[in-house]
Structure 1
């Protein structure tokens, strides 16, 4: 490794708008922001530079589910290492997911809340575990889960270091505990609660900016949240009959009245492909959500590969009938039981009404399903009166669930 000193301009790498975030040393640093607000990239750059500056510091990265870390925080931190031109100083491993600063042996650890024992049992070899970054913190619906994480950052920090937890999130839901705990709290010097948006991102080109201008024109409600970083106002939820709960799907499937159900909603550039995996018990009136796929930019081949990897290749899958070519592709790739969801009059509302008669139990690993169901609302007119149709937002997994459950006994409906 070269011992040559590198001089890097942070302003050239990440731009402006985050000076208070960068310099804050209190216990809780919370940043809610819109898409393209630089919050994740700024945080990644911050931690790489600070770890290289403080030889006794170690970092723990948390998301609700471990499997989402590789394509989010792990990728962002690799980008930061490259952007700073310090690749020769870092060892990057995917098994286990880990990054090591070679001159000192400092570590960046990656953990998911779906394996809490691995979160609370980390022992560092060099220095102390003093920093934690919780990405997509809105996924953590239980404040008790956060308290567990908070308590894991404890002990005395060496001179010159400080203990800190950083939360970055999209502000989808104003009723989330994060708003009350951090944004509505009296500032005692231990909390920085910051809002950012795409307007502080100097690196967006005109095409990027036009995406937000179209959103502002065509979907003002979404623009307030996804564009400006304001809290989402969630009123009139479509589904209120649900709970987040750990369960064993194999035990549920031992019931004679239980059967699996799988649904697929296609997306690509702006919308994610959403795959729903659940169990329905029509006698107990229960729906169990146990797995999901939720990702943008998936080709049909990629969808097939992921469904096969999860072990659902031979299952009966109901897919959005608006894309017959995609369904044919999946069939030819090897999903021999993929079928088009049926069409019918008033199909969306009929499907919603049927599902509303069931209790929905959601496994904590299905973070995207939890995000959608807590934000899937009825539309309103300009006077605030609820309309008899849902908002066309946070509905990808909701649609996939309805496709999957189209054969619930006694209902001959399908979905647009």
Structure 2
């Protein structure tokens, strides 16, 4: 039987199912899936199953959040890629591998079967490697620290980075993120990392939290300056730099690979506004670089020309 899920009423009368296949499962939503679990209930079938088939897309998709972020009982995940397909000839394989250079996001999704985004990334390029902050390369560079507050749904995010302004390079040294932290717990985390005496720039919207951190001994924390265009200005400032990320900064890497511009649904054009997801550490990064960011708005010169 073949049914569409554009109207869930279509499946409510179906009985006696042993198996359901959800083709292109990422095009469904979680409610669709849960409706289908209620249909697979025929007692005479002992091994009832639902198969979800899909090419991985963004980690913002419900499939990733439901099956990969959470541990679901009685669930098995099979991942395959083009290398497992014995029917692909050498020429087709070469064409697929060419996407490594021409379209890396497409290659990761459709060739390697990894979660990635096809939308326009805000920071599309970065280098990932192990960094030693005491190395000759980094030791003399200044440290900058940023903090973004979170609690129930969003994590609190703390970042340490070093900036080489002469060579327009930012080195991301260390991160800390966790959901559900009270301000005293954030203070304890900063102390345990050894940064309680450092100048830390934090989210200005959380003035009460900043005051509590100061009472907890993080005395040099200060609010970031926020203006009507501070997010875009901060992004544009950071885009001038090359990013080099320590390979242990897992959450930062995840955000870099998923932080995108908003796409207008009517025109399919990207607008100059970021999606408010995968941006907690990257917000902390914007705060961290504030001491070297002139916060300048675009300036225009006018000339009087006489003919």
Normalised by the length of structure 2, the TM-score is 0.62
The answer (yes or no) to whether the contact 1:285–1:359 under 8 Å persists in 2 is yes
The structure-2 alpha-carbon separation of the partners of 1:19 and 1:309, relative to structure 1 and needing over 3 Å to count, comes to farther
Residue 337 in structure 1 maps to residue 220 in structure 2: yes
Alpha-carbon distance in structure 2 between the residues aligned to 1:176 and 1:320: 36
Which residue of 2 is the match for residue 397 of structure 1?
281
Aligned with 2:139 (options 244, 250, 254): 254
The structure-2 alpha-carbon separation of the partners of 1:346 and 1:278, relative to structure 1 and needing over 3 Å to count, comes to same
Structure number having the greater strand percentage:
1
Which residue of 2 is the match for residue 236 of structure 1?
120
Which residue of 2 is the match for residue 287 of structure 1?
170
Which residue of 2 is the match for residue 371 of structure 1?
254
The structure-2 alpha-carbon separation of the partners of 1:39 and 1:398, relative to structure 1 and needing over 3 Å to count, comes to closer
Which residue of 2 is the match for residue 191 of structure 1?
none
Residue 272 in structure 1 maps to residue 302 in structure 2: no
1:295-314 to 2 correspondences below 5 Å? 295-314=178-197
The structure-2 alpha-carbon separation of the partners of 1:307 and 1:384, relative to structure 1 and needing over 3 Å to count, comes to same
Structure 1 residues not aligned, in runs of 5+: 1-15, 22-31, 48-132, 138-142, 144-172, 184-230
User: Alignment partner of 1:234: what SS?
Assistant: coil
Pairwise CA distance, 1:42: 4.1
Pairwise CA distance, 1:345: 3.6
User: Alignment partner of 1:35: what SS?
Assistant: helix
Q: How many residues align?
A: 218
The structure-2 alpha-carbon separation of the partners of 1:174 and 1:284, relative to structure 1 and needing over 3 Å to count, comes to closer
Alpha-carbon distance in structure 2 between the residues aligned to 1:313 and 1:175: 43
Which residue of 1 is the match for residue 63 of structure 2?
33
Alpha-carbon distance in structure 1 between the residues aligned to 2:286 and 2:69: 34
Normalised by the length of structure 1, the TM-score is 0.47
The structure-2 alpha-carbon separation of the partners of 1:240 and 1:336, relative to structure 1 and needing over 3 Å to count, comes to same
The answer (yes or no) to whether the contact 2:108–2:116 under 8 Å persists in 1 is no
Residue 177 in structure 1 maps to residue 207 in structure 2: no
1:112-191 to 2 correspondences below 5 Å? 175=106, 177=108, 180-182=111-113
Pairwise CA distance, 1:37: 4.3
Aligned with 1:356 (options 234, 239, 252): 239
Structure 1 vs Structure 2 CA RMSD: 3.3
User: Alignment partner of 2:134: what SS?
Assistant: helix
